[in-house]
Amino acid sequence: MKIYFYLMFFIFGTCLGSFYNVLGMRLPNGESIIKPKSHCPKCNHKLKWFELIPILSFIIQKGKCNSCKTKLSLFYPLIEFSTGLLFLISYHSFGFSFDLIIALTLVSLFMIVIVSDLSYLIIPDSFIIVPSIIIFVIKIIQLGFVNSIIQVLFGILSFVLMYLIMLLGNKLFKKESLGGADIKLMFLIGLTLDPMLAILVIFLASIIALPVSIFLLIKNKEHVIPFGPFLVLGLLIVYFAKLDMKTIFNFMLNIL
C-alpha cells in the first residue's frame, strides 16, 4: 500500500510540476495561465493532450517539438521530475499529517520560485502570499491562535533581519545586494520556523549559493545570481531535517 502512495504522490507531483512551469513562466509577465493554451515557443504549435504528459511526452518526442522539430528545454521535465520526487520524499518523511501539507506547500514554492527567479529574476508577491496563508492556517490548527500569532511575530523578526542584512550588503557592495522578494521570503521562513532556525536557513542558503555564484561569475561577470531559490532550498533542508531549537542548542553545547 505504501508503494501505491509513493507512486501517487510522484505522479501528482509531476503533474503539478508541469503546472508550476506555467505559473513561473507566465505570471511574472502578467500573462494568463489559461490563455493561450500551451504551445511551442518557436512555432506556436498548440500542444495536444498527448504532448502534455509530464516527463513522458518529452521522452517520446525526443526533446523536440512535433511540429517544427525545435529542441525543447530540458528545464521543463527536470522541474516536473524534481517536483514528483520531492512530493514522494515529503510523504515518506511526514506521512499523512499537517506537516505534510506544509512540506508540499514549501516544495511547490521552491519549484515556482526556481522557474520564476531563474527566468526573470522576479518573484511575484502572490507566490509568497498564498503559501504564507496556507502555512498560517496550518499553524493555527497545530498551535492554536495565540501561538500562531507568535509565529507571525517570528516571521516579522526574520523579515527585519533580512532587511538589515540587505542594508549592510548595499553599503558594502555599493549596489543592490538583495531583491525585495528575498526579504519577503524571510517572513514566510520565520512563519514556518523559529527565529534561530531562520538564521540557519540564511547560512545554509549562503553556503550553497557561494560555489554556484563563483562559477557563474567566472563565466560572466555581469551575471545576476538570484538568491530566492537558495533561500527556499535552505528552508526545505531545515524543515525536512526536522531540526528544532533543542537539537541546535545541544549540538552547540557538544561543540563547545
Query: What is the pLDDT, as a whole number, of residue 239?
Result: 95
Residue where a domain stops, chosen among 71, 95, 119: 95
Same domain for 178 and 250, yes or no, is yes
Which cell goes with 123?
Answer: 518573484
Query: What is the pLDDT, as a whole number, of residue 195?
Result: 78
Question: Which alpha helices (DSSP H) does 28-144 contain, by range?
Answer: 56-60, 75-94, 98-120, 125-143
Phi-psi region of 209 (alpha: psi -120 to 50; beta: other; left: phi over 0): alpha
The three-state secondary structure class of 8 is helix
- Give the chain's length: 256
pLDDT digits (tens, 9 = 90+) for 154-210: 999 999 999 998 898 888 877 777 888 999 999 999 999 987 899 899 999 999 998
Q: Which residues of 9-32 are buried (b: 16+ CB within 10 A; e: fewer)?
A: bbebbbbbbbbbbbbbbbbbeeee
Q: How far apart, in whole angstroms, are the C-alpha atoms of residue 208 and residue 197?
A: 16
Q: How many domains does the chain have?
A: 2
Same domain for 122 and 221, yes or no, is yes
Residue in the block written with cell 538583495: 178
Same domain for 52 and 102, yes or no, is no
Same domain for 217 and 136, yes or no, is yes
Residue where a domain stops, chosen among 95, 119, 152: 95
The domain of 172 spans 97-256
Same domain for 144 and 237, yes or no, is yes
pLDDT digits (tens, 9 = 90+) for 102-148: 999 999 999 999 999 988 889 999 999 999 999 999 999 999 999 99
Same domain for 71 and 115, yes or no, is no
Same domain for 76 and 106, yes or no, is no
| Predicted model pTM | 0.91
Q: How far apart, in whole angstroms, are the C-alpha atoms of residue 238 and residue 220?
A: 31
Residue where a domain stops, chosen among 95, 127, 158: 95
Same domain for 49 and 119, yes or no, is no
